[in-house]
Amino acid sequence: MIPTPDLSHLKPADYDVVYEPAEDTFILLDALEQDADALKQRCPRICLEIGSGSGCVSAFLGSFLGPSEALYLCTDINSHACACSRATGDQNKIPLNLVNTSLAYPFLARLQNAVDIIVFNPPYVPTITDEAITAQHDRGIGGAWAGGEDGMEVTNIFLSRVAGLLSPGGRFYLVAVPRNNISAIQKRLRDEGQLNSEIVLHRRAGREHLSVVRFEKAL
């Protein structure tokens, strides 16, 4: 059992502006924990989390891979989330390197075929398109969940980039719900990026059916 990162430094006021870890966060932690030994064996050197929010997931990853074993890169469009992620890294003695940006744009040029682990708990909740666009534009807490049509409008943009970023043997962990059409995501990344995939964890949390899908690039 790998302990959940210490988040005691984050206060209710932080969670007014930054997504508070919830069931969708915890299922991602559990999926990573399930794979912890396999991930360690691969000696990952670059880990990238898209939309790191509180920083809980990257701090967790760093806690079992080791703070100096890999470079932990995190992005978030929400500047408050970047500050919280950084603080969570400090609190848990994992150096998290934050960039306030959308998805992975500033890294695309330099990290082709280079990232060993990518994690993304995206805004997967179906909303009207305008709500998703406004939420991304406002760069606030709404950007953590408002996903537009089928909850896929933000995720889809990243899916077109993810195979290029992964190193040979690299893995991508994605949180998804049935409305996202998980089998279509798997088919798309197999066809476009030659990524094999598997649903590694599935859980019902209240009215949400959460899954973690693991994609892997061939060696």
Q: Given the complex with other proteins, which of 77 and 162 has the nearer CB atom? A: 77
The residues that bridge with 212 in the sheet, in sequence order, are 175, 201
Q: Which of 34, 79, 156, 181 binds other proteins (CB under 8 A)?
A: 79
Selected from 9, 40, 43, 183, the binder of other proteins by CB under 8 A is 43
Enclosing H/E stretch for 33? helix 23-34
**Does 17 engage in binding with other proteins (CB under 8 A)?**
no
Among 6, 30, 33, 69, binds other proteins (CB under 8 A): 69
Least separation in angstroms between CB 203 and other proteins: 33
CA distance linking residue 100 with residue 26, whole number of Å: 24
Residue type, 31: A
Residues of this chain, 111-130, that bind other proteins according to CB under 8 A: 111, 114
Cα separation, 13 vs 23, whole angstroms: 20
> Cβ closer to other proteins: 98 or 212?
98
Kindly list the distances between the CA atom of residue 16 and the CA atoms of 4, 80, 119, 156, in Å, as whole numbers in the listed order: 21, 10, 24, 27
User: To the nearest whole angstrom, how small is the minimum distance from the Cβ of residue 45 to other proteins?
Assistant: 5
Main-chain dihedrals φ then ψ at residue 140, nearest 5 degrees: -115, -160
Any idea of the CA torsion for 50, 52, 57, 60, to the nearest 10 degrees?
Answer: 110
Q: Residue 34 interacts with other proteins (CB under 8 A)?
A: no
Site mask for other proteins (CB under 8 A), range 150-169, x = bound: --------------------
Whether the Cβ atoms of residue 117 and residue 171 lie closer than 8 Å to each other: yes
Q: Which of 46, 163, 165, 189 binds other proteins (CB under 8 A)?
A: 46
Binding site residues, other proteins, CB under 8 A: 43, 45-46, 67-71, 73, 77, 79, 82-83, 86, 95, 97-102, 105-111, 114, 137, 139
